[in-house]
Every structure is written in C-alpha cells, then in structure tokens.
Amino acid sequence: MATQITNFSRTGLSDFVIQRVTAVILLLYTVVVVGFLLLGDVSYTSWRGLFDQTWMQIFTLLAVLSICAHAWIGMWTVGTDYIREHYFGSKADAVRFLYEVISIIALVVYLLWCVKILWGN
Amino acid sequence: MKNDHRPDNLDPSNILFGFAWPLAALASITHRISGVILLVAIGFGLYALDLSLSSEQGFESISGLINTPLGMFITWGCLAALAYHFVAGIKHLLLDFGYGESLAGAKRGAQITFTLATILILLAGFWVTQG
C-alpha cells in the first residue's frame, strides 16, 4: 500500500541521498557564480560570454534541476513536520496538499523559465 | 501526502516556547526557514538572470534595480538566506560523515555555523551596498 505520495522519490532513503548529492552540486554552482561576480571583470559582455558557453549552460540547468529535487524534498519535509492535524486541526491535510502543490508548481515554473533564459532568448 | 507514523513532540498550544531551544535546535530551524526563503529567492534570481542576459540594456536595468534601496534589501536578503543555508548545509554534510555528533560537538557546530554565517551576511551587506 502506498503511504507516501507527495514526497520526491517515494522512499526516504533515496530522498536522503538525492538531497545530499543535489546539495553538493548547488554548493559548487554557488561558488562558481559568486566567485565570478566577486573576482571577475563583470560586464554584459563577460556575463553573456559566461552563459554562452555550453558547460555553463549545462551546469546552470543541472543546478536548477538540483534545486527542483532539493527544494521539493525540503519543502515536503517542512510541510509534513508542521502542517499537521496536531497543530493545524482538521484542515491540515488539505492545507498541506495545497502547500505541496504550490511548491511543486513553482519549481516546475522555475525549471521551464531557466530553459527559456538559457536557450530561448 | 498522508503520513500517520510521525511522533507529536511539540505542544500545539505552545509550539514556539513549549520546550527548550538549544543552540543546535536554533541552527536547525534557521536552516529550514532559510531554505523556504530561498524558494522565493530563486524567483528573484531567475528574474535577474533573465534580464541580465536579455541585452546590454537589460543588464544595465537590472544593475540599476539592484542599486535602489529596495533592490539592495531584496538582494541582501536573498544572499543572507543563501549564506546561512550554505554554511548550515556544510555542517549537515559533516554530520553525515560523523563529525560533531556529540552533544558538545552539536553545540560547537551550531556556534561555528552562526559565526561563519554572520560574517558572510555582513560581507554580503557590504558587497551589495559598496560593491
């Protein structure tokens, strides 16, 4: 019987591993982007040039895919810990479901938006 | 969606102050709060990325927006959430490898996390306003 239907990968163990792998990807991406903005000669030309490179486009898409998985797992964890009958009363399940759907839709919008920014403009 | 196997550890009549808040617990809840803030921050980040890559004029207009008082505040807020989540996330990964799991280690880990995050958040404020 399925008892978990809104968590990311359906099992806690693979959610655990995915959360950590995506965390490391996002850590590296943060270092690269913040490093460029801090140390690089930032102009439209250099910034555009960075994002015109294939490795940066793939790295950025990988980062946003990581955000999707990481934030889904994180938001699910927070929601199932706090938005519960024990604290929220009888409407807790409905409120949490709405919260989860809004979170997931936001992440899908981010993913599609990122694809458009990288390859659609 | 439904999960009936979780313990109820908090008193619903006093969720915030119904129990002690050791430093490690404050570090943990701040990690969660900064994560939720980051979900919104990603939206601002993508907006900035979109505008900055759209054209030379777009790049100039997002630079201008970030330099308004509201723009600085939003940018600094997003960077602050990122900085805390970044440091606390590294602490979490170190815990996964078995570092700092004792009671004293948890307290020290939380102290280091808050200290490093505070330094980064102050530096981010300096970067946003002076950089």
Digit-coded pLDDT (tens) for B53-93: 999 999 999 999 999 999 999 999 999 999 999 999 999 99
pLDDT at residue B25 greater than cutoff 90: yes
Across residues A29-48, what is the average pLDDT? 95
Pair A83, A95: CB distance under 8 Å: yes
Digit-coded pLDDT (tens) for A15-37: 999 999 999 999 999 999 999 99
Q: Which of A27, A71, A93 sits opposite B39 (nearest CB)?
A: A71
**Domains of chain B as residue ranges with CATH:** 24-130 (1.20.1300.10)
What is the rounded CA–CA span in Å between residue A79 and residue A82?
5
| Confidence at residue B130, expressed as pLDDT on a 0 to 100 scale | 86
* A74 in B contact zone (CB under 8 Å): yes
Pair A79, A96: CB distance under 8 Å: yes
3-state secondary structure of A5: coil
* Domain residue extents for chain A: 12-119
Third-level CATH fold of A12-119: 3 helical TM bundles of succinate and fumarate reductases (1.20.1300)
Q: What confidence tier does A1 reach under pLDDT thresholds 50, 70, 90?
A: very low
Query: What crossing angle do the helices spanning B103-130 and B69-96 adopt, rounded to 10°?
Result: 150
Q: Do A86 and B8 touch (CB under 8 A)?
A: yes
A73, A22, A16, A14 alpha-carbon torsion, rounded to 10°: 90
Higher pLDDT, B16 or B40: B40
* Closest chain A CA to residue B60: A44
pLDDT at residue B112 greater than cutoff 90: yes
Pair B83, B120: CB distance under 8 Å: yes
Per cent of chain A over pLDDT 90 is 79
What is the rounded CA–CA span in Å between residue A62 and residue A105?
18
| Mean per-residue pLDDT over chain B, rounded | 92
Distance from CA of A42 to the nearest CA of B (A): 11
Q: Do B3 and A80 touch (CB under 8 A)?
A: yes
| Confidence at residue A38, expressed as pLDDT on a 0 to 100 scale | 94
- Its pTM stands at 0.92
| Confidence at residue A86, expressed as pLDDT on a 0 to 100 scale | 82
* B123 in A contact zone (CB under 8 Å): no
Secondary structure in 3-state letters for chain B: CCCCCCCCCCCCCCCCCCCCCCHHHHHHHHHHHHHHHHHHHHHHHHHHHHHHHHCHHHHHHHHHHHCCHHHHHHHHHHHHHHHHHHHHHHHHHHHHCCCCCCHHHHHHHHHHHHHHHHHHHHHHHHHHHHC
